[in-house]
Structure 1
Amino acid sequence: MDKSKIATILGGILVIISAFLPWLTIESIHTTITGLHSPGTSFGEPGKLNIALAIVMIILAFIKQNIPTKINLFVGGFLFAWTFRNFLMYSRCEMGECPHREIGLFLSIIAAAIAMAGILFTKTIPSKSEG
């Protein structure tokens, strides 16, 4: 297994782990928010999609054909875009209240970037040209 696939798998595992870690602390309502649990807010549970996309990405990383590699490029790009959206949505200030960002939020976007870099540098098998 080459280094790019290891980076993809490691990034996917870190994205899954980061969904369970604290993402924010909101002092005014005395709560800690994770990717899967956001009491007292309307953030929802974006960590579920992070986990689902990371699992699909890890499975596709083990397949050595060109089509799954191209599908993995889309899945990894969507995962990175989703984690970037979560980072922007969760870390914004609302009505003068700025939440304290925790390690899980930073780890999720860094891990998605590592996974995306691993996907981008994956070697593809040259197709056989006819003729």
Structure 2
Amino acid sequence: MSKTSVIGIIAAVIAIICTFFPWATIESRHLVFTGLNTTGSSFGEPGKLNIFLAVLAAVIFLVKNKWVMRMNLFVGGFLLAWSFRNMLLFSRCEAGVCPQTGIALYIALAAAVVVFVCVLLTRTPVKK
């Protein structure tokens, strides 16, 4: 297994772990939002898709098939886009109430960037 695959798997695990920590806090209403617990808002549960995509990317890093590794390009890109969307969603102000964003939100985004870069730098096996 290459170094980029190992780093990509570690980054995917970090992205999964970050979904359980606070992403945003609204102190005026005493609300704390994580990726899986957004009670009191209309955000849904975006952490479930983060977890699914990160697990799928980590599993694909383990497979050394050319077409499966190309699928990881889509999975890693979608994980990056979804994490960026979550960062925009949880850090925006609504009706004059601005949330205090947690560091886990930014770490999840950074981990998604690392997963995507590792997907780009992983070499595909050469047929002989």
TM-score (norm. length: structure 2): 0.96
Q: CA deviation at 1:126?
A: 2.4
Match of 1:11 in 2: 11
For residues 88 and 95 of structure 1, the distance between their equivalents in structure 2, rounded to whole angstroms, comes to 16
> Which ranges of structure 2 fall in alignment gaps of 5 or more residues?
none
Query: What's the CA shift string for 1:45-73, capped at 9, x where partnerless?
Result: 00000000111111110001101100011
Q: CA deviation at 1:25?
A: 0.5
Match of 1:93 in 2: 93
Amino acid at match of 1:60: I
> Which ranges of structure 1 fall in alignment gaps of 5 or more residues?
none
For residues 8 and 67 of structure 2, the distance between their equivalents in structure 1, rounded to whole angstroms, comes to 17
Structure 2 counterparts to residues 1-131 of structure 1, below 5 A: 1-127=1-127
Amino acid at match of 1:62: L
For residues 84 and 10 of structure 2, the distance between their equivalents in structure 1, rounded to whole angstroms, comes to 18
Q: State, as a whole percentage, how many aligned pairs show the same letter.
A: 46
Higher helix share: 2
Amino acid at match of 2:61: A
Q: CA deviation at 1:112?
A: 0.3
For residues 114 and 103 of structure 2, the distance between their equivalents in structure 1, rounded to whole angstroms, comes to 16
Amino acid at match of 1:112: A
SS at match of 2:10: helix
Amino acid at match of 1:42: S
For residues 55 and 95 of structure 1, the distance between their equivalents in structure 2, rounded to whole angstroms, comes to 36
SS at match of 2:33: strand
Q: CA deviation at 1:6?
A: 1.2
Query: What's the CA shift string for 1:6-64, capped at 9, x where partnerless?
Result: 12101110110000010001012101100000111111100000000111111110001
Please tell me whether Structure 1 or Structure 2 has the larger radius of gyration of its CA atoms.
Answer: 1
Would you say how many aligned residue pairs link Structure 1 and Structure 2?
Answer: 128
SS at match of 2:95: coil
Amino acid at match of 1:101: T
